[in-house]
Amino acid sequence: MSSLIERALAGQPVPRPPVWFMRQAGRYMKEYRELRAKVSFLKLCGDADLACQVTLQPVERFRVDAAIVFSDILPVLEAIGREIRFDKGHGPRVLEPVRSASDAASLRRPDVADALPVVPETIRRFRSARPQTPILGFAGAPFTLLCYLVQGSGSRNWEHVKALLWSEPTTADHILSLLADVVGDYLQSQIDAGAVAVQIFDTWAGILSPEDWRRWSLPYVQRALGRCSGAPRIYYTKDSAPYLDHLTQTGADAISIDWRVDIAQARQVFGPTIPVQGNLDPVALFAPPDEIRRRVRRIIQAAGPRGHVFNLGHGVLPTTPIEGVEAMIDEVHQTRWPET
Ligand code: CP3
């Protein structure tokens, strides 16, 4: 019998939805903070043994129904030739942002097996340590990776990114094609290592108008997803609402939505064959447990008995109270759909 999450992602009947959540291994957990006091974030991402330990932390503490391999979306930028840093309090930085055709010419097309070996290795280790727990793989979407590569850091307006799209579209297309191919091969390497599903994070797609999203994000998600198969592929975007009608065109097998969309409406728009993941507001975890439980039940009822994976609408925040996380998971675990 396959796991709950595999069944939910296949649209098969389940007694209750599976639950995992974005950033489930991270700073809101004491175990994670203790390890991070000794080891830098990039070291955690670069060492399969440490990454496997961190991947296990939320699985052991909360009995989530799936693990997500511990890493980040940005090591892909290192693989194409840019150094990255995570400075305390500043978020990620790309040391030499790419803002022109000549900058772009210095990027390389790596062999993914050589350049990005840690995540598949972490997945293999996790599977031998915890064969009964399914593990998910992931990568950043080409457009979201382009955002960091060109802007050089997180940003409110991403002006360098939009300037490149609109003043040097050929250069932007060239970089996005490179990213799509690397991301596609990287996801395939994670499926081959045993990931039961993979998620493509398009966190910053929401900065684009619907027309620009169709021009600059959609084709490259299609291209990346077209290069991998053998397990369900989930597309996540924060600010999903403006593109709701178009999300199934990505070719993804399931869609992960943020909290600003009604999950019942999303299901109606996507149709019965596309499983949906989401969509509790991460800030709801700061509410009293009864309020969290009420919101969890509401989402589960609105999503319906088939094809729903319970998740947050974005990553869990570092200051989140553990009791909130426990209430959410417990409420999902107590759900019982009548047998169909
Ligand atoms: O979900 C998981 O548990 C797997 C691990 C994971 C991390 N980052 C760990 C992380 C995943 C799937 C990501 C994805 C990621 N990384 C995204 C897409 C999803 C999203 O959250 O929108 C993005 C945009 C990034 C880039 C990134 N990494 C930023 C902007 C930051 C700094 C902001 C912050 O939260 O501090 C990171 C750092 C990061 N990635 C941390 C973790 C646990 C914190 C690092 C630390 O320990 O200091």
Q: What's the 3-state SS for 243-312? A: HHHHHHHHCCCEEECCCCCCHHHHHHHHCCCCCEEEEECHHHHHCCHHHHHHHHHHHHHHHCCECEEEEE
Residue 279 in any domain: the answer is yes
The chain-wide mean pLDDT, for the chain, equals 97
Whether pLDDT at 173 is above 70: yes
pLDDT of residue 90: 82
Integer CA distances (angstroms), 4 to 15, 210, 239, 278, in order: 9, 34, 27, 15
pLDDT of residue 340: 62
- The CATH number covering residue 271 comes to 3.20.20.210
pLDDT of residue 15: 97
Cβ–Cβ contacts within 10 Å for residue 38, how many? 9
Mean pLDDT of 236-250: 95
pLDDT of residue 1: 61
Residue 197 in any domain: the answer is yes
What is the number of domains present in the chain?
A: 1
Give the structural domain span for 176: 4-334
Mean pLDDT of 147-151: 98
Catalytic residues: 23, 27, 36, 72, 148
pLDDT of residue 88: 82
Residue 117 in any domain: the answer is yes
Residue 59 in any domain: the answer is yes
For a mutational test of ligand 1's pocket, the pick from 21, 23, 239, i.e. the residue with the most ligand atoms closer than 8 A to its C-beta, is 23
Distance (angstroms) between ligand 1 centre and the Cα of 3 equals: 26
- Is the minimum distance from the CB of 142 to ligand 1 under 6 angstroms? no
Per-residue model confidence as pLDDT tens digits over 45-84 = 999 999 999 999 999 999 899 999 999 999 999 999 999 9
Residue 339 in any domain: the answer is no
Residue 212 in any domain: the answer is yes
Residue 340 in any domain: the answer is no
Per-residue model confidence as pLDDT tens digits over 281-325 = 999 999 999 999 999 999 999 999 999 999 999 999 999 999 999
Distance (angstroms) between ligand 1 centre and the Cα of 4 equals: 26
Q: How far is 278 from 292, CA to CA, in rounded Å?
A: 14
